[in-house]
Amino acid sequence: MYEQPYNPYQRNIGIVKDYFKTPSVLALAFLNIAAIVTSFVTALVSAEVIRTLAERAVDYYDGIVLQIFGSQTLKDFSQYLHETAGQSSALSMLSSASILSILSIIALFLIYFKSRSSRPDASPHAGVMILYVIAILSLIGCIIMSLLLVAAIALNFYLYSLIKSRTEITFTIPRGNITYSLDTSTLLTIAIACTIAIVIVIFLMLFFNINHLRYIGSVKNSMSSVELSRKGAKPYGVFCVILAVFAGLGCIASIPSLFSGGSGLLSGLGYKKDVTVLRVCSILMQAITCAALVMKAKIALGYAKYIDEKKFGYNEPESSAPYIPAQQTPYSYLAGSKSATPDDDVNPYLDEKKQPTCPACGAPVDENAPFCGQCGSKL
């Protein structure tokens, strides 16, 4: 009976398929769908609220900016940012939250159903490649965001340089005619604290996205090479657990805001109902994010453990090829010898002629010698 030859590539694809047919992959896809729906509702509700709030903020915030820095250019720039905030908020939320999420949902469904398929040619490689591209785009976005944060640090110290010659800053909030005074040393302390916080955020973002890319890349490489890989899976999973804890704490801390009534600037502007919807969407989004992070951590940490078990607990099948002895000459098969040892190798065609010996003492003698030169026996 014909025996299927051993194929390490096909074996690795089977190992990856056996793991990713877990229901956790399908649950993560549905959590992403819920996140898209929640983001869409939040964007629709918040677009008008943010636009109105931006118009009101111009009268308050920009007046303070003008008082502190004495620069009309900064005031005009701040006003431009506030006026465009409401127009771009919905588009930015929908584009950033939906496009990559939709691609990840497609990828997760491909991975799950291809992994569950019993067909030998079914492979989750296409879904993994989509996730790999998403991880690359996320890392690029993280790098761009890091550069923007570095620019924010530079702007932070530039603004401080405008007022460092003054020992005290006094400004009045237009609404309520309330006057505040800040010492410049306090502002410097705030600037340094903000800088440290931004550097930490940059490091964490890069750490998370780099390990995410390594993790997805290891899954991709496991299906296209003879060696299983789990690089980045453990640090990515641990980081997801930490983020899930913070998301859960934020969700719990936000619940009392649902029962705080209609106080606040937005409620005072006539958006009490919208504020309630925004609060519900915010809490729901945090809960979905927490659950998705828990699921990602479960999948990543489980993958690392699963690959370790397969790498160190799997023995390759013995080769079905015939055994060929290491020591033999090309003529051992012609001789028809059963054992392939150097003593049994015989060349019937090119056998060298042996030197004659004396039958009495065994000493080598010449072929035509009449007597043995060693013992004198007659030959």
> pTM of whole model > 0.75?
no
pLDDT digits (tens, 9 = 90+) for 309-365: 887 655 444 444 444 444 444 444 444 444 444 444 445 544 455 678 888 777 887
Q: What is the 3-state secondary structure (H, E, C) of the chain?
A: CCCCCCCHHHHHHHHHHHHHCCHHHHHHHHHHHHHHHHHHHHHHHHHHHHHHHHHHHHHHHHHHHHHHHCCHHHHHHHHHHHHHHHHHHHHHHHHHHHHHHHHHHHHHHHHHHHHHCCCCCCCCHHHHHHHHHHHHHHHHHHHHHHHHHHHHHHHHHHHHHHHCCCCEEEEEECCCCEEEEEEHHHHHHHHHHHHHHHHHHHHHHHHHHHHHHHHHHHHHHHCCCCCCCCCCHHHHHHHHHHHHHHHHHHHHHHHHHHHCCCCCHHHHCCCHHHHHHHHHHHHHHHHHHHHHHHHHHHHHHHHHHHHHHHHHHCCCCCCCCCCCCCCCCCCHHHHCCCCCCHHHCCCCCCCCCCCCECCCCCCECCCCCCECCCCCCEC
Q: Of the ranges 155-164, 214-223, 297-306, which one carries the lowest mean pLDDT score?
A: 155-164
pLDDT digits (tens, 9 = 90+) for 113-161: 999 998 888 899 999 999 999 999 999 989 998 898 888 888 777 777 7
pLDDT digits (tens, 9 = 90+) for 163-207: 666 655 555 555 555 555 666 677 778 778 888 888 898 899 999
